[in-house]
Amino acid sequence: MFVALVSMGAGFLPNLAHATTWELDPSHTSVEFSVRHMMATTVKGQFEKVKGTLEFDDKDITKSTIEVTIDPASVNTHEPKRDAHLKSPDFFDVSKFPTATFKSTKVQKAGKNKLRVTGDLSLHGITKPVVLDVEGPSQPYQTPFGTTVRGIHATGKIDRKDFQITWNKALDNGGLLVGNEVSLDLNAEVSEKKAPAVETAPAKSADAPAPTKPSK
């Protein structure tokens, strides 16, 4: 089964004149995948540990960048035995490959408030180009807690064989136990990262008395 994006997030473009930095809010972000099972139904899962950084350039959105990192060991399909199998060398092999990442290489406009993001997905020790269809980012808005947030939604598909995740079993009817095509779905809330405040030395008062020389 898959992976990560999904990980949208360091190859950022340098010196983005109009860029602002945003970070994924893990508590309001979901990275999900789905795959056919026994050619009869679709099984869904998610990764519960994800982090990422986005550089938005609102003057020219195509100069924006994104990087996402996912912990494959955080996979959750709500079936402990299946999760253990996914973490094993048959699938993610999390002891050998503890992270999966997505780093954007190109951002293109694809319609009103839509983007087509191409990037490198590194999963299971293999790096391949992946294309994501993105809705957003939404307009920034202030939360009651004093932070500024935006929303973003991305979808895509990968073939797990491209990442040498090939475990399977043949069915009596000629089909396969696990499908090869994996659908990805990322819903994220990102918070603006504020630049650290710069402390300045207090200005000297113009009225301050000049130092006096000590008497002899």
Lookup: tokens for 201: 């030395």
Q: What letters, b where the CB count within 10 A reaches 16 and e where it falls short, cover 139-176?
A: ebeeeeeeeebbbbebbbebebeebebeeeeeeeeeee
* pLDDT tens digits, one per residue of 14-36: 444 468 999 999 999 999 999 99
Start-to-end Cα distance in the chain: 88
pLDDT of residue 32: 97
pLDDT tens digits, 50-64: 999 999 998 999 999
**Mapping DSSP to helix (H, G, I), strand (E, B) and coil, where does residue 163 land?**
helix
Structure confidence at residue 197 (pLDDT) = 55
Please list the ranges in the chain whose pLDDT falls under 50.
1-17
Contact of 89 with 96, CB cutoff 8 Å: yes
Domain spans of the chain? 19-192
Asked whether the beta carbons of 79 and 21 are under 8 A apart, the reply is no
CA of residue 33 relative to chain centroid, distance: 14
User: Which class is domain 19-192?
Assistant: mainly beta
**Would you tell me how many other CB atoms lie within 10 Å of the CB of residue 69?**
21
The strand pairing partners of 32, in sequence order, are: 46, 185
Name the DSSP class of 177.
S
**7, 52 in Cβ contact below 8 A?**
yes
